[in-house]
Chain A
Amino acid sequence: MLFTPFPPPPRYQDVAQMDVDDDFDGAEAKMTSPGEILTSSQAFMRGHGTFVVDEEVIASVAGTIDRVNKLVSARPGGRSIASPDTDPRYNPEVGDLVIGRISEVGPRRWKVDANARQDAVLMLASINLPGGIQRRKLESDELQMRNFFEEGDLLVAEVQAFFVDGSMSLHTRSLKYGKLRNGQLVTVPPVLVRRLKSHFIALPCGVDLILGLNGRVWVSKHVHREENDGDESFDAALVYSNQNDEIDVSTREAISRVSNIIRVLADRFVPLTDALLVDAYEWAVDQECKVTEILHEDVADALAAAVVARI
């Protein structure tokens, strides 16, 4: 009709053949944003955060460019090999410890909201039965699935595998995993939880911590774990119990204090580790500030500064 298509603006053609090869070392981050041409697809392969049009690799997210040999990818936010991602969503990997909430009870499976792009799946076959018996799950088990986990229950689990559509499958086949009680949930950006040797931390103040890699932290009363972990003889009623134990006032205070400390540190973008939390707790006790005072702006700033200085 009347119009011819617009010619592409000249400045893109100018930068089109940027040489990804030169001075590309891992410590420095090159930035990009959607629609920017990174390189030619003949010389390079496209990775995450990129797509190919007319033999050109184009970024689809704003962030940093990564290159591994012939693979070029763009990572959202400030993420690069040198610095982990700031993606607000959790990107699961097999073996990760996550804390999720049951969102749905389905046929032979639970749907679990674990802050990922899709709900995770917990198969009936991948939980421990009360009594610790190892056997095929029967129809009778299927009928009483709500006795194990109900909608809204919090649980800690491990990522077992992925389905073809990218959603993850969880399992709780260890005594360490299962339903959560006796505590409080704190949510932080997933970046702030780094992979540690153990994500089950017992703080000296009588508080247990579970750091989920999906950015959820469970702060609870300390429970003594039997040394013969993994043994068949565990108390079935307790594992799937919905009843909190008796928690005394000082423990409640300690739990709230730890929770507030985590909130404060997360607000100031400080990655969480066990040593850091112990430090922060000691600082809070030394300063004799009340539990709620930790959340006050000035106290919180002082806390973060004191803790970061000690690292």
Chain B
Amino acid sequence: MGSRIEILNDGGLRSDGRRQHELRSITIQLATQGNADGSAIIQHGLTTVLAVVHGPREARLRSLTQHDRAVISVEVQVAPFSQGDRRRRGKGDRRTQELAASVKETFETAVQTHLYPRSEINIYIHVLHQDGGVLAACVNATTLALINAGVPMIDYVASVSAGTFSTSPLLDLTTLEESDVPNITLAVFPRTGKVGLLLMDTRLHVERFEEIFRLAAEAGKVIHEEMRVAIRTSTAGLVKAMGGAIVAGPGAGSSERATKALEIEDEEMVDA
């Protein structure tokens, strides 16, 4: 090993100073693009993704329309400046297309498409900065943009990446960790705890799988809470702007930012 950066040092800290189960800080901005129906920027640490939603609107291609539901189309653009080596990725790039396909399939179950027959929902995703967990950030940004656009969904979709360094599970990996440890990306529907997306790009030992799977599912709930707070704040702003008074709705108590540090305690894991 020698001069290599330690993924997890003896003190239980990772290369960027986080603990094993600690998520990176999350920043959310809603409605950033004025002429879109909905948009959101989410930052997981340094990973920054912008999602823009247009629709439901008349489908641009007649051949694509479904008479009983809306079709979802996803386009992903990876900015050339988003990573260390400057590289232009076209639309046909395999990795970009795979990202788009994963997001599309996840949201086809989440969005109530049957409410808008013969229309189309366009999702445009721009990856502005990559530092691990790009797919997770894409899913989270899309969730926020869709909610911002007022598109009916059965639930939030909260996504996070997780990996395992030897026998120690790690959450929310950076590029450095992602390239070094076996990892998965998981998206959950927090209300039911059902899984919307599970992607494994690397080989992972079957013994380790359940542990990081459960951990990622639990972390998804923390991310859901962050997104819910952001949405709630923006809704409150809208209600206020339109001259209405606000009363806390159901579940308002849990929206308090109890999990400021975003660290999942070990006791919680036992409960799960």
Contact = CB atoms under 8 A, between A and B. Distances in A.
A129 to B, nearest CB: 27
Contacts of A269: 241
Interface residues of B, number: 59
Interface string A116-127: 011100000000
B180 interface: no
A32 B251 CA distance: 9
A12 B191 contact: yes
B232 A28 contact: no
Interface string B237-253: 11111111111111111
Interface in A39-64: 49, 51, 58, 60-64
Contacts of B242: 78-79, 83-84, 86, 191
Nearest to A164: B117
A18 B56 contact: no
Contact of B58 (A27, A61, A118): A118
A150 interface: no
Contacts of B246: 28-31
Contact of A36 (B57, B239, B250): B250
Contacts of B56: 89, 117-118
B215 to A, nearest CB: 12
Interface stretch (A1-9, A276-284, A288-296): A1-9
Contacts of A61: 147, 150-153
A113 interface: yes
Nearest to A82: B244
B53 to A, nearest CB: 9
B244 A63 contact: no
A23 B248 CA distance: 12
Contacts of B126: none
A33 B254 CA distance: 13
Nearest to B117: A165
Given A29-B246, A38-B250, A80-B244, A60 B154 contact: yes
Contacts of B1: none
Contacts of A78: 235, 237-242, 244
A29 B245 contact: yes
B116 interface: yes
Contacts of A28: 244-247
Interface string A143-167: 0000000000000000000000111
Contacts of B192: 8
A186 to B, nearest CB: 13
B107 interface: no
A9 B221 contact: yes
A284 B155 CA distance: 48
Interface string B108-123: 0000100011110000
Contact of B147 (A3, A34, A191): A34
B193 A60 contact: no
Contacts of B236: 31
Contact of B153 (A2, A34, A79, A167): A34
A118 B119 contact: yes
A113 B210 contact: no
A289 B241 CA distance: 29
A305 B93 CA distance: 50
Nearest to B250: A18
Contacts of A191: 242
Contact of B37 (A6, A31, A83, A88): A88
Interface of A: 2-3, 5-9, 11-12, 15, 18, 23, 27-38, 49, 51, 58, 60-65, 76-80, 82-84, 86-89, 103, 111, 113, 117-119, 165-167, 191, 269
Interface of B: 36-38, 55-58, 67, 112, 116-119, 147-156, 189-194, 209-210, 213, 217, 221, 228, 231-232, 234-254, 272
17 contacts: A5-B194, A8-B192, A11-B251, A11-B254, A15-B251, A27-B245, A29-B244, A31-B232, A31-B248, A78-B240, A83-B242, A88-B36, A88-B38, A88-B150, A89-B37, A89-B57, A118-B58
Given A36-B249, A64-B235, A118-B118, 9 more contacts: A3-B210, A6-B272, A18-B249, A34-B153, A34-B155, A36-B250, A37-B251, A58-B191, A78-B235
Which 3 A-B pairs give the minimum distances between C-beta atoms?
A76-B150, A6-B193, A78-B238
